[in-house]
């Protein structure tokens, strides 16, 4: 017995109207259902892709905002670093000026120069570093103020120190042959008080001032022979005797280490 193909009938009814029937074979129903499933799948896929696109767009917008924030922060950091560089340069110049002033005072005092090691300031970033440099600059300005206040007193002290007869009148020659104080009398019996210091030196050796001062007197001075008398600051005097030739005149200003005459 031959089997008849399956057919489906769809009844379409309308209120108050005639009913209509729609008949179609089975393969058409399968095709319709397949199309409906495909259409639904495509729409679901497109909806999912649209959702991903919106999420990606939001992420890109957030990244753009973050990039702009970082760019502004970088510009601010550059501005801070520029201000820090200017502050550091000013501070460096002030420190160099202070160093030169101190070295000049030490030179005038006859002291050896200082070998100062560089100091590295470890500041923070941005405002912290600027605040650190500001503190350093305040310290430098305070040092400058103190130095300016102390300079007159230092000048007076250095003037007295330079005038003290603390140096040696001869360089690179023999040592002391007779010191200051009691000694056997070289010209007779007994002891005497020697009120000077005798040095061994060859004829013609230069004799140097042991401190700065003013030449008070030159010429023949009794047992000291041809001599130079210096007046120093603080009421001190020094006499250089037994010279063969003079190198200065009365009233002349001399500095420590200047030649006064010759043995």
Q: What is the CATH number of the domain that holds 239?
A: 2.70.70.10
Written as one string, the DSSP assignment of the chain is -PPPPPEEEEEE--TTS--EEEEEEHHHHHHHHHHHHHHHHHHHHHHHHHHHHHHHHHHHHHHHHHHHHHHHHHHHHHHHHHHHHHHHHHHHHHHHHHHHHHHHHHHHTTPPPP-PPPPPP---STHHHHHHHHHHHHHHHHHHHHHHHHHHHHHHHHHHHHHS--S-S-SSS--EEE-SEEEE-TTSSSEEEE-S-EE---TT-EEE-SS-EEEEEEEE-GGG-EEEEEE-GGG-EEEE-S-SEE---TT-EE-TT-EEEE-
Burial label for 163, CB within 10 Å (0-12, 13-18, 19+), is buried
- Tell whether 102 and 180 lie within a shared domain: no
**pLDDT at residue 261 is higher than 70:** yes
Q: What pLDDT was estimated at residue 223? A: 87
The answer to whether position 13 is within a domain reads no
Q: What pLDDT was estimated at residue 97? A: 77
Write out pLDDT tens, residues 98-157.
777 767 766 665 555 655 444 444 444 445 555 556 666 666 676 676 667 666 766 777
The answer to whether position 137 is within a domain reads yes
Write out pLDDT tens, residues 220-248.
999 889 999 999 887 889 999 999 999 99
**pLDDT at residue 84 is higher than 80:** no
- Tell whether 188 and 157 lie within a shared domain: no
Q: What pLDDT was estimated at residue 259? A: 95
What is the spatial distance between Cα 98 and Cα 117, in angstroms, rounded to a whole number?
Answer: 15
Domain of 149?
A: 26-163
Write out pLDDT tens, residues 35-79.
778 888 877 877 887 787 777 777 777 777 777 777 777 777 777
- Tell whether 135 and 251 lie within a shared domain: no
What's the structural domain count of the chain? 2
Q: What pLDDT was estimated at residue 79? A: 77
- Tell whether 99 and 72 lie within a shared domain: yes
- Tell whether 158 and 249 lie within a shared domain: no
The answer to whether position 38 is within a domain reads yes
| End position of a domain, from candidates 163, 190, 205 | 163
Q: What pLDDT was estimated at residue 184? A: 82
Q: What pLDDT was estimated at residue 175? A: 80
The answer to whether position 229 is within a domain reads yes
The closest alpha carbon to 12, from 24, 22, 27, belongs to 22
Q: What is the pTM of this model?
A: 0.44
What is the spatial distance between Cα 123 and Cα 112, in angstroms, rounded to a whole number?
Answer: 33
CA–CA distance from 190 to each of 61, 108, 178, 187, 246 (Å)?
111, 45, 16, 9, 34
Q: What pLDDT was estimated at residue 217? A: 94
Write out pLDDT tens, residues 197-225.
888 889 999 999 988 899 999 999 998 89
- Tell whether 30 and 109 lie within a shared domain: yes
């Amino acid at each position: 017995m031959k089997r008849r193909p399956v057919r489906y009938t769809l009844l379409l009814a309308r209120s108050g109207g005639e009913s209509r029937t729609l008949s179609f074979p089975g393969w058409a129903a399968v095709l319709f259902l397949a199309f409906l499933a495909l259409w639904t799948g495509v729409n679901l896929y497109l909806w999912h892709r649209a959702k991903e696109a919106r999420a990606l767009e939001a992420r890109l917008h957030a990244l753009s905002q973050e990039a702009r924030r970082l760019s502004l922060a970088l510009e601010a950091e550059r501005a801070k670093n520029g201000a820090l560089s200017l502050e550091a340069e000013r501070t460096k110049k002030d420190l160099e000026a202070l160093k030169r002033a101190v070295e000049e005072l030490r030179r005038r005092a006859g002291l050896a120069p200082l070998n100062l090691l560089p100091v590295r300031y470890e500041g923070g970033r941005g405002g912290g570093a600027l605040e650190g440099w500001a503190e350093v600059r305040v310290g430098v300005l305070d040092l400058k103020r103190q130095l300016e206040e102390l300079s007159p007193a230092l000048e007076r002290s250095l003037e007295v120190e330079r005038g003290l007869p603390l140096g040696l009148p001869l360089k690179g020659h023999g040592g002391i042959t007779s010191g200051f104080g009691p000694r056997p009398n070289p010209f007779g019996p007994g002891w005497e008080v020697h009120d000077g210091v005798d040095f061994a030196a060859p004829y013609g050796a230069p004799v140097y001032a042991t401190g700065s001062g003013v030449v008070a007197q030159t010429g023949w001075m009794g047992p000291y022979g041809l001599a130079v008398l210096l007046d120093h600051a603080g009421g001190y005097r020094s006499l250089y005797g037994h010279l063969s030739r003079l190198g200065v005149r009365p009233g002349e200003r001399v500095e420590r280490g200047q030649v006064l005459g010759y043995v």
